[in-house]
């Protein structure tokens, strides 16, 4: 009986900790939304050529009315032409928004490549509030998972043994 109850309590404890840590953030995620294509001439609100200003841009509730695209995680897309350096005429496009479905089948991390015309593209997805402000993505989710597992292991060994 004890052998059966200990794994069950471990599983219950693990499920509870993971639920508490991750469900609230998934339900109420906030992401930055902007597009460098909508910036006026000489304006860089979305961080295509300079650092992204988190004070100038406000993260929106992804399931709220302000979200251009409703979603449960954040998205950032970069495209850059292949020609020379920026001052030689290379263009760059940045889009930040909420996302519901990933075209590439990933929900955390980045994917990149080149189109046939030589344009570089990069798409990044993350599931923490305001996580689409910079790249590379922070490792907060990974750290949360490791921390959760350590807590569960501590509780398991304290209660179970």
**For position 26, what pLDDT does the model report?**
47
Question: For the chain, which residues make up each domain, given as ranges?
Answer: 30-141
Q: How far apart are CA 13 and CA 19, in angstroms?
A: 10
**For position 12, what pLDDT does the model report?**
63
Mean pLDDT of the chain: 75
Q: Centre a 10 Å sphere on the Cβ of residue 36 and count the other Cβ atoms it contains.
A: 20
Q: How far apart are CA 119 and CA 50, in angstroms?
A: 20
**For position 93, what pLDDT does the model report?**
92
Please give the backbone phi and psi of residue 95, each rounded to the nearest 5 degrees, phi first. -130, 130
| Biggest CA pair distance of the chain | 73
Domain 30-141 has CATH 2.10.60.10: yes
My answer on whether omega of the bond before 148 falls inside 30° of 0, hence cis, is no
Is 127 buried (19+), middle (13-18) or exposed (0-12) by CB count in 10 A? buried
**For position 3, what pLDDT does the model report?**
44
**For position 44, what pLDDT does the model report?**
85
Closest CA to 22 of 145, 151, 115: 145
Low-confidence ranges of the chain (pLDDT < 50): 1-6, 24-26, 136-141
């Amino acid at each position: 009986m004890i052998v059966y109850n200990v794994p069950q309590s471990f599983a219950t404890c693990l499920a509870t900790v993971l639920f508490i840590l991750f469900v609230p953030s998934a339900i109420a995620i906030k992401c930055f939304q902007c597009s460098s294509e909508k910036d006026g001439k000489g304006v860089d609100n979305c961080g295509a050529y300079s650092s992204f200003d988190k004070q100038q841009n406000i993260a929106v509730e992804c399931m709220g009315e302000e979200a251009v695209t409703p979603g449960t995680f954040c998205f950032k897309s970069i495209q850059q032409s292949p020609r020379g350096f920026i001052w030689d005429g290379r263009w760059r496009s940045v889009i930040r928004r909420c996302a519901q479905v990933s075209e590439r089948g990933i929900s955390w991390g980045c994917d990149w490549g080149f189109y046939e015309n030589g344009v570089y593209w990069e798409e990044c997805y993350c599931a923490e509030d305001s996580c689409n402000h910079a790249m590379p993505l922070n490792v907060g989710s990974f750290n949360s998972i490791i921390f959760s597992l350590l807590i569960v292991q501590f509780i398991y060994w304290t209660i179970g043994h």
